[in-house]
Amino acid sequence: MGLPTRPLGRSGMQLTTVGYGAWAIGGLGWEHSWGAQDDRDSIATIRHAIEQGINWIDTAPVYGHGHSEEVIGAALAGLPAADRPYVFTKCGLIWNPADHQLPPDRDARRIGWEVEHSLRRLGVDRLDLLQIHWPPLLGPALDVYWQQLVDLRDAGKVATIGLSNHDTDQLAAATRLGPVDSLQPPLSLLSRDAAAAEVPWCAEHQVGVIGYSPLESGLLSGAFTAERAAALPADDWRHAAPAFTSQLGPNLELVAALRPVAERHGVGVAAVAIAWTLAWPGVTGAIVGARRPAQVDDWLPAAALILTDADLAEIAAGIERSGAGTGPLRPAAAASSDHS
């Protein structure tokens, strides 16, 4: 039996409830690097995820400044068409080729150029989903850049189009020009704000939601300790991030509150954290990263884990005690199992 799936809005795609996130495999040498990463490990991890039934991968050109897309292309090369997962990427972040440590510009002036480079790096003729990574600060307004994505969809360069990190007003404005197939917001036990606004808006308007960072870059995996956080190397962006420094105490207290729930279900803490994001009505799936095959195995049980109302109440109490994160404490009820 395969992994459970949910529809991505009205796109016609059925996605497994967890997808493989390819941020961390971008490697060294850019402003949000996770540190050194062996491409052979990355390729083995991607192929393992596919073998376990995961049917979509999410990446972006900015992850390793093209390198993540290149690694995915190498991992998928030679796979029969029937075995290939959907590949989702993004546009609208342009990095400085002279200084890869500078933050990228939020720039929508070269979307067509970005798409051509993503197609080349991924080794595909069409993108399954193209998303605007962040609301651009440079270039045309939303009505122009969203129209460009609509035109790319109409021309067959991309199958579906979406927005990432956009709010409900921006979603509504885009919808007036052409259907939005998906939204990618941050969604985790620590980043809960989208559950109060964007997620219900998308559920009402039949827009798919794929939440990112449900494990908060490993912090909610159950494997982090204060000692490990203090030992993160300088080439790992997390070493200076507030979630891993000034906010670490409350965050680890919340992780401790997940352990009894995990034990009852016979799964790891990571699976509980991801299942919590999947419990919100309207969420299609969660993007989860891994740098080694064993990490996929750690969180894969989340795909089919349904938390009970009692579980959700216990987790909400843990959030309140710890004071960690922001946003609503729990969904009103466990998400229905609209799985195939």
Is it the case that residue 122 has pLDDT exceeding 90?
A: yes
pLDDT score of 1: 55
Is residue 49 predicted with pLDDT exceeding 70?
yes
Please list the residues that pair with 211 across neighbouring strands: 286
Tokens of 312: 């959700």
Distance between CA atoms of 226 and 271, rounded to whole angstroms?
21
pLDDT at 302 over 90: yes
Other residues' Cβ atoms within 10 Å of the Cβ of residue 232: 18
> What mean pLDDT comes out for the span 122-135?
97
Q: 3: closest CA among 334, 280, 291, 278?
A: 278
Taking 80 as the threshold, does the pLDDT of residue 334 lie above it?
A: no
Q: Which whole number is the average pLDDT over 174-195?
A: 97
Note whether 50 and 41 are within 8 A (CB): no
The lowest-confidence range among 116-120, 223-227, 285-289 is 223-227
* Helix residue ranges, H only, 88-157: 111-122, 142-155
* Catalytic site positions: 63
- Contact call for residues 67 and 26 (beta carbons, < 8 A): yes
Report the share of the chain in percent with pLDDT over 90: 96
% pLDDT > 70, the chain: 97
Q: Which CATH superfamily is domain 14-224+269-305 in?
A: NADP-dependent oxidoreductase domain (3.20.20.100)
More confident of the two residues 78 and 189: 189
Number of residues written out for the chain: 340
pLDDT of amino acid 28: 93
Q: Would you state the structure tokens that stand for residue 67, as one six-digit string?
A: 């390198």
pLDDT at site 332: 76
Reduced to 3 states (helix: H, G, I; strand: E, B; else coil), residue 55 is coil
pLDDT at 336: 47
CA distance 49 to 292: 10
Question: Alpha helix (H) ranges present in 279-323?
Answer: 293-299, 309-322
Under the phi-then-psi rule, with left for phi > 0, alpha for psi from -120 to 50, and beta for the rest, what region is 107? beta
Mean pLDDT value of segment 226-247: 93
Mean pLDDT for 40-63 is 98
| pLDDT for the residue 335 | 52
Going 321 to 325 to 327 to 329, the CA torsion angle's sign is negative
Q: Are the C-beta atoms of residues 35 and 22 closer than 8 Å to each other?
A: no
Say yes or no to pLDDT of 339 above 50: no
Mean pLDDT of the chain: 95
Q: Where are the alpha helices (DSSP H) in the chain?
A: 39-51, 67-76, 111-122, 142-155, 168-175, 198-204, 226-230, 248-265, 269-278, 293-299, 309-322
